[in-house]
């Protein structure tokens, strides 16, 4: 693919997002261009699972990659599975076992560098004419994409992350596929193949109980790794989850792709835990809230500017963790509550967040998007309490 064609695809991608035309995609192949184009569509698919289904439906094998797999693993045949922004995934039998084999697109590092440079210039030009709300959303998506994709082309680091989660996570309802470390390298990752159902197709037919199970299980996966180990799987788009169902109809969540993993310090995790406890009280101690938010990476000057309302904002954002009851996304009513709190005056200075918090917000934004699309009641309080009351955080980080 020439550089000109790639630039055209990036422009079309941004045009459709800006005009909210996800459902009017004329050609699904627009979304599976390796690099930033596909990564941007993956970000969009979190908010709209129909986009994820369109991407998953397109089969576009790479014969150069197939040849590389056969040579490196000394096998005769492979089966195309899926596209990824940095690589492409195949299934193959190796030494009598089925494996999922993710291979990096040839020359993807150079492609990503060119994409990011062009995209930054393009967004800078577009920002002159865009309304503030669209400009903010576009910048948010682009920064998320660039921040994440820089690390996803490092397959050695991804292998280390994957192995860590495999060895650390203990949960009967969550599966981390085992790696075959003999074949993993800087351009290929080989893990056990799961016959599970893609989240997109599971979601399309799932009933209320099944959607609630997914939300509870995924939520528990986030919290256990964050609060016990100080790490999160920070790539929550729907292609990274499968649902396995056994003969007794017992379901298990399969989590894949550990190219984007964020590690947190013990101080950050302890501050987060203390913040969750602090917002439960009827009378908010704003000075305590501010001290904890500083430890979480928010600038002191920014917090001083929002001092009159920062306690209320924090309590609204964390409200689902504070009430021991089932609530739907619509019951939370977060947009209305935040708008009401901020309506007291014009706030000229935006809240700025650290990279640590941006990763965390990204994961929670995905969880909340799935919750909103499911339209089912969830008890966040019951999910977090056993984890907060578990092992000492200091002993696990």
pLDDT digits (tens, 9 = 90+) for 152-176: 778 999 999 999 999 999 899 999 9
**Please, which pLDDT band fits residue 58 given cuts at 50, 70 and 90?**
low
Q: Which residue in 364, 354, 362, 355 sits closest to 302, CA to CA?
A: 354
Separation of alpha carbons 260 and 307, rounded Å: 34
**Please, which pLDDT band fits residue 91 given cuts at 50, 70 and 90?**
very high
Alpha helices, DSSP H, located in the chain: 3-18, 36-47, 49-57, 63-73, 108-126, 132-152, 155-168, 199-205, 208-224, 266-278, 286-295, 300-305, 310-317, 329-332, 334-342, 355-374, 380-388, 393-396
Average pLDDT, the chain: 82
Strand pairing report for 174-175 and 251-255: parallel
Tell me the pTM: 0.81
**Please, which pLDDT band fits residue 82 given cuts at 50, 70 and 90?**
confident
| pLDDT more than 70, % of the chain | 76
Query: What backbone torsions phi and psi does residue 87 show, to the nearest 5 degrees?
Result: -140, -170
Name which residue leads in pLDDT, 9 or 192. Answer: 192
CA distances from 42 to 146, 199, 378 (A): 13, 13, 25
For position 2, what pLDDT does the model report?
58
Only one residue has tokens 């979601």, namely 203
Cα 368 versus chain centre, distance: 11
Residue-wise pLDDT for 241-258, tens only, equals: 999 999 899 999 999 999
Residue 313 neighbours by CB under 8 Å, 6+ apart: 306, 338, 341, 342
Provide the phi-psi class of 158: left if phi over 0, else alpha when psi is between -120 and 50, else beta.
alpha
pLDDT average, residue stretch 211-222: 96
**Please, which pLDDT band fits residue 364 given cuts at 50, 70 and 90?**
very high
**Please, which pLDDT band fits residue 28 given cuts at 50, 70 and 90?**
very low
């Amino acid at each position: 693919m020439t550089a000109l064609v790639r630039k055209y695809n990036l422009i079309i991608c941004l045009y459709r997002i800006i005009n909210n035309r996800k459902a009017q995609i004329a050609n699904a192949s627009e979304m599976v261009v390796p690099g930033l184009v596909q990564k941007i569509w993956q970000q969009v698919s979190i908010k709209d699972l129909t986009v994820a289904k369109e991407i998953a439906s397109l089969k576009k094998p790479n014969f150069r990659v197939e040849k590389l797999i056969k040579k490196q693993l000394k096998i005769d045949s492979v089966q195309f599975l899926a596209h990824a922004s940095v690589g492409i995934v195949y299934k193959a039998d190796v030494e009598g076992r089925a494996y999922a084999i993710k291979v990096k697109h040839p020359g993807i590092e150079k492609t990503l560098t060119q994409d990011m440079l062009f995209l930054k210039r393009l967004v800078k030009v577009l920002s002159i004419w865009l309304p503030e709300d669209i400009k903010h959303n576009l910048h948010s998506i682009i920064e998320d994409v660039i921040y994440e994709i820089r690390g996803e082309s490092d397959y050695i680091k991804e292998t280390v992350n994957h192995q860590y989660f495999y060895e650390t996570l203990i949960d009967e309802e969550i599966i981390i596929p085992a790696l075959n470390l003999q074949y993993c390298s800087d351009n290929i990752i080989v893990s056990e193949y799961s016959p599970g159902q893609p989240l997109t197709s599971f979601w399309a037919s799932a009933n209320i109980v099944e959607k609630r199970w997914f939300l509870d299980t995924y939520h528990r996966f986030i919290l256990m790794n964050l609060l016990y180990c100080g790490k999160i799987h920070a790539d929550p788009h729907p292609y990274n989850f499968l649902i396995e169902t056994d003969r007794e109809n017992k379901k298990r969540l399969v989590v894949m792709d550990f190219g984007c993993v964020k590690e947190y310090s013990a101080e950050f995790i302890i501050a987060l835990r203390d913040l969750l406890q602090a917002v439960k009280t009827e009378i908010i101690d704003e000075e305590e809230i501010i001290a904890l938010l500083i430890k979480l990476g928010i600038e002191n000057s920014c917090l001083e500017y929002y001092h009159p309302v920062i306690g209320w904002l924090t309590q609204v954002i964390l409200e689902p963790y504070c009430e021991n009851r089932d609530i739907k996304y619509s019951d939370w009513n977060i947009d209305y509550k935040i708008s009401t709190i901020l309506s007291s005056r014009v706030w000229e200075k935006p809240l700025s967040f650290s990279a640590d918090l941006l990763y965390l917000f990204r994961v929670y934004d995905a969880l909340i998007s799935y919750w909103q699309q499911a339209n089912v009641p969830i008890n966040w309080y019951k999910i977090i309490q056993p984890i907060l009351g578990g092992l000492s955080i200091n002993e696990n980080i």
